[in-house]
Structure 1
Amino acid sequence: MDIRGDGSTGATAPVALSRLAWPPVLAVAAGVAALQAVLLGQYGFHRDELYFLAAGHHLAWGYIDQPPLTPLLARWSTALFGESPAGLRVVAVLLGAVTIVLTALAARELGARRGGQVLAAAGAAVSAMVLALGHMLSTAGFDLFAWTGIGVLVLRLLRTGDRRWWVAIGAAVGVALLNKDLVLLLAAALLPAVWFTGNRRVLHGCWLPVGALLAVLVAAPNLYWQARHGWPQLTVASGISGQDGLADRLTFVPMQLLYLSPVLVPVWLGGLRRLRQEPELRWARPLAYGYLGLCALVLLLGGKPYYALPPLLLVLAAGCQPVVDRMWPAARSRARLVGVLVLAVALNAVITLPVLPARQLPLVAWVYKESAEQVGWPELASAAGAGWALVPAGQRGHAVVFAADYGEAGALARFGGDYGLPAPYSGHMSFADWGPPPDSSTGPVLLIHPAPYPQVERAFTGCREVARIDNGRGLANEEQHAPVLLCDGPVRPWSQLWPQLRHFY
């Protein structure tokens, strides 16, 4: 039975699917994984990865700014493959490869044959977001994988009308909630889209509540942790929106295009048009309006542009088969399509992957600033070590190393031992929960990079600059030329000072 536009019909018409093109799809995913594997250790840890490493050594059901899954993955990956950038990022490479396969599965659900599935996999593989997130361990990388998987399950639900798929969707949403609460925005956009533009019958009955209950049960440990700690993630989200909301709104549309790849925009727009207009895909129309609704929510809340990226791969998948039908039969058009994909992967790889020598990073860091955040952390620890050497040996038993933010604290936790440094403290994000120092630690205090946080320096007396950080590559990132101060001690006991030193952004 066909679905009418008001969504009031009964079952969804079954659609015969083509076989999944396993060999070429897996070849595309394996090719990207191999490229990522070769480049894993070219630079160094990203600041967020250093934070995940530290959090992985303080396992909990939640953290100030995130649920537990990514720190847990960091702990597992480094335990299996070593505490190095390459060892940490094995999980990211695998998640990126599976995301490519899931994009091909989405194209298949949307009626793509072999060529359309391969193009969907290739389009995901050459996109800036898959290349970037497949190179570094991040919450966004798991979100991309999980949301794409949820999208495939939702497409299967809509296509078949089998409401039992809500159970699998609920389990997947629960796991995604253990990584980031942002998946709730996806649900808030998709459910109304199904109600207004899809087969409403899939929302009826017990299976949707069962799926929702399962999602809550899977995520319950983190939800309980957040409730006990006063929902700090809401404080962090509010701070991010208040600090960067305007800039994020202004750059939202351009970043959507850049994260995907400008050369793939026609395929993406074609997929959006196909989902909205073609009768044979009327059942999948909620995907198009759900994506648009998600964009509206992110803009309204002042979220980061990448929050809306995962469904973009699904919309891209919808546009692939018409492109293949139009371009593949003619040799010239086929060559043009392959050339476009090669151009996209070459451009995006240079921008997002450690292809260039570190000294040439300024060429791309203005576009993709995360590349610059993978350089200079051992040098930061070295500068801190130079400052620590000025602390008299007799005073080191009650001296403290204090870092202004979690990236610097994570770097000192990872590399500080090479320079004789003790474990660092910080008031930033969950590092605040792993402190404070004992009140008997009366100083001196070695203070790392207080410039962005003047309230930090005011908490200590007699501060003087003893070193400056230099990454040795002339790369302008947040820590380049930042000061290292040696202070006499805290103005009050640490237990009294700690609430003042805590900050969330």
Structure 2
Amino acid sequence: MKRTRNFIYLLAVIKFIVPYLLQNNYYEPHRDEFLYLAEGHHLAFGFMEVPPLLSIFAWLTHLFGGGMFWIKFWPNLFGVLTFIMTAKIVQKLGGGLFAIFLAFLPFIFGAYLRLFFLFQPNPPEIFFWTLIAYSVLRYIQMEKNKYLYILGISIGLGMISKYSVAVFAVSILAGLLLTPQRKIFANRHLYYAGIIALLIFLPTSLWEYNHHFPIVVHMKQLNDTQLRYVGPAGFLADQLLMNIPCVFIWLAGLYFTGFSYKGKKYRAFAWAYVFVITLLLVLHGKNYYALGVYPVLLAFGAYHLEKFSESRLKIWRYVFVIIPFILGVLFIPIMLPVAKPESLAKYYEVMNTAKTGLLKWEDLKNHPLPQDFADMLGWEEMTQKMANAYNSLDSNDKAHTFLFCDNYGEAGAVNYYRYKYNLPEVYGDNGSFLYWMPRNEHIDNLILITDDQEEMQHPFVKDFKSAVVTDSVTNIYARERGTLIILFKGSNDAFNKMFREKIEDDYNKFK
């Protein structure tokens, strides 16, 4: 037992260290990370895009200095905790060291390597999905009520990390309903646990109500822009592709829970997987929305493959390890930016990576880098060039200059770097930045960051005495390449009236 525990913690330490060693320090925080870091400066019970849990870790990140180590610490920590819970499931099934090692491999070779190194809601969400699965499994095995309360707490905390936890909670309960384990619904403690989950989620649900459910508007905007490009065939293919080096492990888990006699007791987990995938297909969810359902299947699969390869079939164990290592090493430069953009772009060209779809962005076109990597470039350049425009003004003009960005990535990035460049706070009306936007600000001068290449053609430009494009983002690999920095001076009343009406209209969308 001690040997197994020590082995799990050794692998956990490796899991924590490896991403720090792999990611090249040329890269900056990701576009979304800037948004979630900004929420740490505006703690609340909810935000337009996400529930509040991640903002607490953002607040702690700022408290500890806001460096890259701490930005990456929290997702990495949740990755470690998710692996430990996966290993615990293997243990409780009766798996040994080999099964634990198999369950560890997907955390190094596959989509989890990237996901658990991005400061986003997904790492805590996936941890709570796994904790939900663990609590259900332990209740099935032991029928002790304490696991129902762990289930309730996991759902409650999961719901304040990301609302999609509800997808798994509903799916696992539906799975239980379709199996002999439905007797769980006769246990009053399940409903007491449900009340605990509701109480944990209550402040966030009240926040959503008081703010007219911005998550609904946000999801509609996502559906109109990004999610409408998600097709069923691509979504299902990506479920295999995301963890291709270790895909056979979770497929073995699905077989074990869904079809094998020994796994009949755990059939609810196979049904849960079917329901999760079905719901996400109906809702046009992105491919990675399903990643939370796999750790438990990886645990079942690792256990099943260990049993399968006992005695005379031990030769298979070499196959089960060699395949992830060979494929996984090839996939690492796609999961994390391990080299500078020029080197990675050449690697992808040599490997014909474009044919896999992994270089396809939301515009459905292939680019030199994966979109996530391109979203880690150009931000400090942008901030520096805004600072150059700001510092071209005299002290009187600076005092009457408003800094504005078109999207949350730009606003979050400039606010992250602004202390280094002595800039005032930067505002925007995209995402949660809308809530922090002054509503009656009188603007004399404006420095605008925009990715609209036609910005200088808009009628409002004539409402300023002068308007000059001072610079643009020039990093050829950045998704923000070409983004303009424009200095407007000497506004009139017509512009201020139009701008106030624009902000008011943006607010009214959430009423």
TM above 0.5, yes or no, is: yes
Structure 2 counterpart of 1:148: 130
Structure 2 counterpart of 1:499: 504
Tell me the CA shift for residue 392 of structure 1. 4.4
Deviating more after overlay: 353-362 vs 281-290? 353-362
Equivalent residue letter for 2:59 = R
Tell me the CA shift for residue 481 of structure 1. 1.6
Q: Are the aligned partners of 2:110 and 2:332 in contact in 1 as well (CA < 8 Å)?
A: yes
Give per-residue Cα distances to partners, 1:71-127, cap 9 Å, x unaligned: 1112113423x21111221112111111111111222333423322221123x3234
Q: Are the aligned partners of 2:43 and 2:55 in contact in 1 as well (CA < 8 Å)?
A: yes
Task: Answer yes or no: is 1:286 the counterpart of 2:268.
Answer: yes
Alignment partner for residue 19 of structure 2, among 33, 36, 39? 36
Matches within 5 A, 1:338-357: 338-357=321-340
Structure 1 counterpart of 2:402: 400
Structure 1 counterpart of 2:88: 105
Q: Are the aligned partners of 2:333 and 2:344 in contact in 1 as well (CA < 8 Å)?
A: no
Q: Distance in 1 between matches of 2:9 and 2:459?
A: 56
Q: Are the aligned partners of 1:244 and 1:302 in contact in 2 as well (CA < 8 Å)?
A: no
Q: Distance in 2 between matches of 1:428 and 1:347?
A: 37
TM-score (norm 1): 0.88
Structure 1 counterpart of 2:50: 66
TM-score (norm 2): 0.87
Q: Distance in 1 between matches of 2:453 and 2:93?
A: 49
Tell me the CA shift for residue 46 of structure 1. 1.0
Q: Are the aligned partners of 1:127 and 1:259 in contact in 2 as well (CA < 8 Å)?
A: no
RMSD over aligned Cα atoms: 2.6
Q: Are the aligned partners of 1:456 and 1:501 in contact in 2 as well (CA < 8 Å)?
A: no
Tell me the CA shift for residue 394 of structure 1. 2.6
CA distance change for structure 1 residues 322 and 205 in 2, over 3 Å: closer, same or farther? Answer: closer
Give per-residue Cα distances to partners, 1:425-481, cap 9 Å, x unaligned: 100111111112643x3221111014189799666544442211123xx3141x112
Equivalent residue letter for 1:71 = S
Structure 2 counterpart of 1:27: 10
Deviating more after overlay: 23-32 vs 59-68? 23-32
Matches within 5 A, 1:110-259: 110-122=93-105, 124-250=106-232, 251-259=234-242
Q: Distance in 2 between matches of 1:74 and 1:321?
A: 37
Structure 2 counterpart of 1:444: 445
SS for the counterpart of 2:487 is: strand
Equivalent residue letter for 1:26 = Y
Structure 2 counterpart of 1:14: none
SS for the counterpart of 2:231 is: helix
Structure 2 counterpart of 1:300: 282
Structure 2 counterpart of 1:313: 295
Q: Distance in 2 between matches of 1:247 and 1:280?
A: 40
CA distance change for structure 1 residues 175 and 475 in 2, over 3 Å: closer, same or farther? Answer: same
Q: Are the aligned partners of 1:40 and 1:86 in contact in 2 as well (CA < 8 Å)?
A: no
Give per-residue Cα distances to partners, 1:171-202, cap 9 Å, x unaligned: 11111111111111112212121111241111
Q: Distance in 2 between matches of 1:152 and 1:344?
A: 29
Tell me the CA shift for residue 235 of structure 1. 1.1
Give per-residue Cα distances to partners, 1:18-66, cap 9 Å, x unaligned: 9982222222221121112334671211111111221101111111111
CA distance change for structure 1 residues 324 and 97 in 2, over 3 Å: closer, same or farther? Answer: same
CA distance change for structure 1 residues 204 and 409 in 2, over 3 Å: closer, same or farther? Answer: same
CA distance change for structure 1 residues 191 and 334 in 2, over 3 Å: closer, same or farther? Answer: closer
Structure 2 counterpart of 1:91: 74
Q: Distance in 2 between matches of 1:454 and 1:186?
A: 43
Q: Distance in 2 between matches of 1:34 and 1:209?
A: 41
Q: Distance in 2 between matches of 1:422 and 1:392?
A: 15
CA distance change for structure 1 residues 331 and 175 in 2, over 3 Å: closer, same or farther? Answer: closer
Matches within 5 A, 1:428-439: 428-436=430-438, 438-439=440-441
Alignment partner for residue 366 of structure 1, among 359, 368, 374? 359
Structure 1 counterpart of 2:354: none
Tell me the CA shift for residue 241 of structure 1. 2.0
Q: Distance in 1 between matches of 2:451 and 2:478?
A: 17
Q: Are the aligned partners of 1:404 and 1:453 in contact in 2 as well (CA < 8 Å)?
A: no
Structure 2 counterpart of 1:45: 29
Q: Are the aligned partners of 2:86 and 2:296 in contact in 1 as well (CA < 8 Å)?
A: yes
CA distance change for structure 1 residues 389 and 360 in 2, over 3 Å: closer, same or farther? Answer: same
Equivalent residue letter for 1:105 = K
Q: Are the aligned partners of 1:19 and 1:114 in contact in 2 as well (CA < 8 Å)?
A: no
Equivalent residue letter for 1:85 = M
CA distance change for structure 1 residues 412 and 404 in 2, over 3 Å: closer, same or farther? Answer: same
Structure 2 counterpart of 1:467: 471
SS for the counterpart of 1:309 is: helix
Unaligned runs of 5+ in 1: 1-17
CA distance change for structure 1 residues 374 and 476 in 2, over 3 Å: closer, same or farther? Answer: closer
Alignment partner for residue 320 of structure 2, among 337, 341, 363? 337
SS for the counterpart of 1:52 is: helix
Q: Are the aligned partners of 1:41 and 1:86 in contact in 2 as well (CA < 8 Å)?
A: no
Structure 2 counterpart of 1:381: 383
CA distance change for structure 1 residues 144 and 287 in 2, over 3 Å: closer, same or farther? Answer: same
Q: Are the aligned partners of 2:386 and 2:485 in contact in 1 as well (CA < 8 Å)?
A: yes
Q: Distance in 1 between matches of 2:459 and 2:124?
A: 39
Tell me the CA shift for residue 390 of structure 1. 3.9
Equivalent residue letter for 1:112 = G
Matches within 5 A, 1:466-485: 466-471=470-475, 474-477=476-479, 479-485=480-486
Give per-residue Cα distances to partners, 1:185-227, cap 9 Å, x unaligned: 1122121211112411111131121111100111111111111
Equivalent residue letter for 2:102 = L
CA distance change for structure 1 residues 191 and 19 in 2, over 3 Å: closer, same or farther? Answer: farther
Structure 1 counterpart of 2:366: none
Q: Are the aligned partners of 1:159 and 1:284 in contact in 2 as well (CA < 8 Å)?
A: no
Give per-residue Cα distances to partners, 1:231-284, cap 9 Å, x unaligned: 101111122123223322342112212222x13222222211111122222121
Equivalent residue letter for 1:140 = N
SS for the counterpart of 1:448 is: strand
Unaligned runs of 5+ in 2: 349-357, 361-369
Equivalent residue letter for 2:448 = L
Structure 2 counterpart of 1:8: none
Q: Distance in 2 between matches of 1:20 and 1:457?
A: 68
Q: Share of identical aligned residues, percent?
A: 23
CA distance change for structure 1 residues 129 and 334 in 2, over 3 Å: closer, same or farther? Answer: same
Equivalent residue letter for 1:87 = W
